[in-house]
Structure 1
Amino acid sequence: MLKTTVAFCIGLAFASAAQAQVNSQDLKWGPAPAMFPKGATIAVLSGDPAKAGLTTVRITVPAGYQVPAHHHPTTEYVTVLSGDLHLGMGDKLDMTKAAALAAGGFAEAPAGMNHYAWSQDGAVLQIHAQGPLDIVYVNPMDDPRKK
């Protein structure tokens, strides 16, 4: 019985993984949603970032890109695939108080924790979170949806 259960679970894992297989050259990139500062692009790897449930997206940001202090309603997991990302915790973007992450770097921003980010040279990021994805800016005037 245990062997059957384990085999069934492994089969489910492979079936689920097969539904989300994609090579980087086949990703469909487009402008990031309005909650992101202008200049970012996004590609959805799995899930629907606008709906409840797990989702994984890739984001590209140009050199000099900044995201003012904000938080998310769910925990966000970020992996730097290429380029650089500077990530700091707090209520205001402070370029002197952030950790520099290079390709392969990883960060976790717990739900509700204010943080900010910028990229000096541009980056490709992979973000994994529970949807729907949202950004709540500490200063409402920083929200690009209000500009």
Structure 2
Amino acid sequence: MLRTAVLMSGLLCLSSPVAAQVNSADLKWGPAPAVFPAGAQMAVLSGDPHKAGVFVVRLKVPAGYKVPAHHHPTDEYVTVISGDLSLGMGDKLDPAKAAKLAAGGFAVAGAKMNHFAFSTEGAVVQVSAEGPFGMTYVNPADDPTRQ
């Protein structure tokens, strides 16, 4: 395998060929895991959310979609690709405590930090985290897998 050494700011960085490439039009969308409220679709861009290691997914949600307060075992990095996503921290979904993110917006939810999300217009968001993926609802009755 051909590797190129690049000297940047006194650090030696090794670059290698791209391991995964995908255009938005080529994504393979399917239903999001059952732990998400109904209506969301997911596409895996890199990694495996069910295994240890970094993964990157895109989540497509319809207008009016809501995810009640929950947390994850690891930090979650969210970038809005299109549409809008309102994200807030706390133990219950409270629109007054949310910040609305437009396309290009970015947020981090720390490990075990309770947060919630909703979209008024619908959205596509990219999420990256360390697997395995886990999602624990603050109120167990909000967990779709228990309904």
Name the TM-score, length of structure 1 as normaliser: 0.91
Structure 1: distance between partners of 2:4 and 2:28: 37
The runs of 5 or more residues in structure 1 that have no matched partner are: none
Corresponding residue of 1:58: 58
Q: What is the DSSP-based 3-state SS (H/G/I as helix, E as strand, rest coil) of the residue aligned with 1:58?
A: strand
Corresponding residue of 1:77: 77
Structure 1: distance between partners of 2:16 and 2:4: 14
Structure 2: distance between partners of 1:133 and 1:93: 21
Q: What is the DSSP-based 3-state SS (H/G/I as helix, E as strand, rest coil) of the residue aligned with 2:16?
A: helix
Which residues in structure 2 correspond to 1:68-107 (within 5 Å)?
68-107=68-107
Matched AA of 1:97: K
Q: Deviations over 1:36-70 (max 9, x none)?
A: 11000000000001111000000000000000000
Number of residue equivalences:
140
Matched AA of 1:68: P
Which residues in structure 2 correspond to 1:1-147 (within 5 Å)?
6=5, 9-10=13-14, 13-15=15-17, 18-147=18-147
Contact 2:86 2:118 in 1 (8 A): yes
Which has a greater percent of strand? 2
Structure 1 residue ranges, 4+ long, deviating more than 4 angstroms after superposition: none
Structure 2: distance between partners of 1:114 and 1:41: 22
Structure 2: distance between partners of 1:69 and 1:78: 16
* Alpha-carbon distance, 1:5 to partner: 8.8
Percent identity of paired positions between Structure 1 and Structure 2: 66
* Alpha-carbon distance, 1:121 to partner: 0.4
CA-atom RMSD in angstroms: 1.6
